[in-house]
Amino acid sequence: MSRTSVPEAAYLAASLLFIFGLKRLSSPRSARSGNILAAIGMALALAGTFVLPGMGHFGLIILAIAIGTAPGWLLARRVKMTAMPQMVSLFNGMGGACALFISMGEWLRETAPAGDFGQALPMLLGIVFGSVSFTGSLVAFGKLQGLITEKSVRWPLQKSLNALLLLAIVATAAEAVPHHDNAWWAVALAGAALLLGVLQVLPIGGADMPVVISVLNSCTGLAAALTGFAMHNMSMIIAGTLVGAAGSFLTVLMCKAMNRSLAKVVFGSFGLSPVAAAGAAAVKSDQVMREITASECAIMMGYARKVIIVPGYGLAVAQGQHLVHDLDEALEKRGVEVKYAIHPVAGRMPGHMNVLLAEANVPYPKLLDMDEINPEFEQADVALIIGANDVVNPAARTEAGSPIYGMPILNADKAKNVIVIKRGRGAGFAGIENALFFNPKTRMLFGDAKKALQELVTEVKAL
């Protein structure tokens, strides 16, 4: 076997492991092994790179790997489940930055002759997609972390400015092709794309963050694939295409779950309209929330036939997933049927609630998606909502002026009784009041979800 065929074989094996690993990530039962397979694939790809013809500076390469591995390992070990969305955004941004620097490096090596559009295009697109993914992911991280306001940030002529910036990117890329020997064109292209990433994500409201994360993830995959084309690296092409395709598919599913087009998410902004704001104010002044104690909740659930639990971000914030499992087991010992209703955009990223409950060893067959669980709410004696808000808001069905109007929701309001565990009386992530909380059959159990669940578990066991 020649020296050139060894890295190619390593890249082929790595690509196959990426595919098998991604496939196994489709189920919580096999996700751990899928992650290990993908990690082995990445190790093979790195090993193959070391034996490429002409490679050198191995000391610096190993140093760079060590510098990247240390903080990555520490973050992965210490990050809380509530911070998982922003960690994903941060790591996704790092992937975009890698694609940007690699594409820029390939451009500066002048591997393509001036005017060769076919060879220059992958590098230029890698610079653009990598830049947008990098700064866009950083803004998304800032919103999720609370460093930047989660609400929509708008300014005059916002869309016009973004459109002009996009035209400037196209013009700069077109001018860079015949001037390949002038590095400043590529630098200007990267600068414009970096700015576009900030300006494009900044106006998007927090309620659209799950979709934005998917879009940026797809951009990072595309940037990696384009970088692979520029470097003639099969492994990067396949891995980037897998990430880009998975991110695109997930984006479509998220948009469908929110009943919003991708164009509305990316260009429309998600904010509280004046009509919705007026409606929210009217709800606050005209109706009251009815409170309930933990012992009363325990009696209601302990003597029920069927309870459906609706988890939300408040559960993740309180780190109460293990207590939910304890409550589940305590109810089932009394003969109560317990199921979980999972909305596609519950939490701050796709699959957030699934991961959270899987961590607490909740049996996966109990986690039912929206289409499966919605017909069962009418037969449920109690719908227990823990930290969820917008995904159970009936305004999505009835209020045309609401920013969530038309978004498919969980039909928790159709249960015979509704119990809501909520820290306070504030509005949800979309910034609007939830009429369900004022429904005559709804009772509010105010307080930290973890403390409230602990009280519920104790009271149910004491029945």
What count of other Cβ atoms lies within 10 Å of the Cβ of residue 3? 9
Q: Which of 326, 328, 390, 413 is catalytic?
A: 390
The yes-or-no answer on residue 390 being catalytic is yes
Residue type, 200: Q
Query: Two tokens at 95?
Result: 């992937």
* Rounded CA separation 276/265 (Å): 18
**324-335: string of b/e by CB count within 10 Å (b at 16+)?**
bbbbbebbeeee
Residue 215 and residue 221: Cα distance in Å, rounded?
10
In 3D, which of 435, 448, 162 has the Cα closest to residue 283? 435
3-state secondary structure the chain: CCCCHHHHHHHHHHHHHHHHHHHHCCCHHHHHHHHHHHHHHHHHHHHHHHCCCCCCCHHHHHHHHHHHHHHHHHHHHHCCHHHHHHHHHHHHHHHHHHHHHHHHHHHHCCCCCCCCHHHHHHHHHHHHHHHHHHHHHHHHHHHHHCCCCCCCCCCCCHHHHHHHHHHHHHHHHHHHCCCCCCHHHHHHHHHHHHHHHHHHHCCCCHHHHHHHHHHHHHHHHHHHHHHHHHHCCHHHHHHHHHHHHHHHHHHHHHHHHHCCCHHHHHHHCCCCCHHHHHHHHHHHHHCCCCECCHHHHHHHHHCCCEEEEEECHHHHHHCCHHHHHHHHHHHHHCCCEEEEEECCCCCCCCCHHHHHHHHCCCCHHHEEEHHHHHHHHHHCCEEEEECCCHHHCCHHHHCCCCCCCCCCCCCHHHCCCEEEEECCCCCCCCCCCCHHHHCCCEEEEECCHHHHHHHHHHHHHHC
Q: From residue 463, how far is each of 52, 198, 296, 303, 458 by CA, in Å? A: 69, 55, 11, 9, 9
Q: Which sequence positions are flagged as catalytic?
A: 390
